[in-house]
Structure 1
């Protein structure tokens, strides 16, 4: 199967956009990702998927913690910074939630302790036990078919 065909098919699944953050050796690291999902309510678990060559992989393995920051539709620039799409160096100010670095203004900041790690293909899946959550109002930043998107205004549907 062709890699492009697979990527195009996966791109038809609209996702939210997150920035995964962690802190190792006193330095904050972050990466844009859309490979995130909730796993369990009891206990509260989430999973993130990190590519084998991503710099943040070893940092999460070292710290044993990470935060998932679900971005708002006003945070496309933050997504682009952490995706490496903006090349010039920009200073990013982080907030803190339960001592972990988080992206201010994110719709949700979810801090986690790594409870399991699984290597699958060219990615490592980290299962995170949720330790804290902070929520903000707003609309999500979306990604679909390789482009950033936002929600359209809801239309009232009248059934006859």
Structure 2
């Protein structure tokens, strides 16, 4: 199967947009990701999927912590910055929750300790035990077919 067809097919699944962050040696690192999901309520666990070639892969392995900030529909510039699509450091502001950087004004920030990781294909699934959650009001930034959009309730 052609890799482009697979990517196009997976792009037909509408997702929210997140920025995964961590801190190594007092330096904050982040990347845009949509490979995020809830795993368990008891204990509270989430997972993220990180490409082995991404800088974030070694940073999370080193820090053993990460945060997932679910972006609002007003934070497309933040997503584009961390996706390497548009340099806009002024759009990025951090808060710290349990010592981990999170995106300021994100709809949700989920802060985790890595408890397991599994190498699967060209990615690693990092399982995080949720330490703390921060919630903010707003509407989510959506992603579908390689394009940003907004959520429209029916």
Give the TM-score of the pair, scaled to structure 2. Answer: 0.96
Find the aligned partners of 1:29 and 1:90 in 2 and give their Cα distance: 12
Q: What CA deviation, in whole Å up to 9, does each residue of 1:36-92 have, x standing for no partner?
A: 0000000000000000110011110011000000000000000000000014x6243
Determine helix, strand or coil for the equivalent of 1:53.
coil
Q: Secondary structure at the residue paired with 1:4?
A: helix
Greater strand fraction, Structure 1 or Structure 2: 2
Of the two, which has the highest radius of gyration? 1
Give the TM-score normalised by structure 1. 0.93
**Counterpart residue number, 1:134:** 134
Aligned length: 153
Describe how 1:5-24 pairs up with structure 2 within 5 A: 5-24=5-24
Q: Distance in 1 between matches of 2:99 and 2:89?
A: 23
Map of 1:83-98 to 2, 5 A cutoff? 83-87=83-87, 90-91=89-90, 92-98=92-98
Task: Report deviation, 1:93.
Answer: 2.5
Q: State the partner residue of 1:143.
A: 143
Runs of 4+ in 1 over 6 A off after TM superposition: none
Unaligned runs of 5+ in 1: 156-160
Which consecutive unaligned segments of at least 5 residues does structure 2 have? none
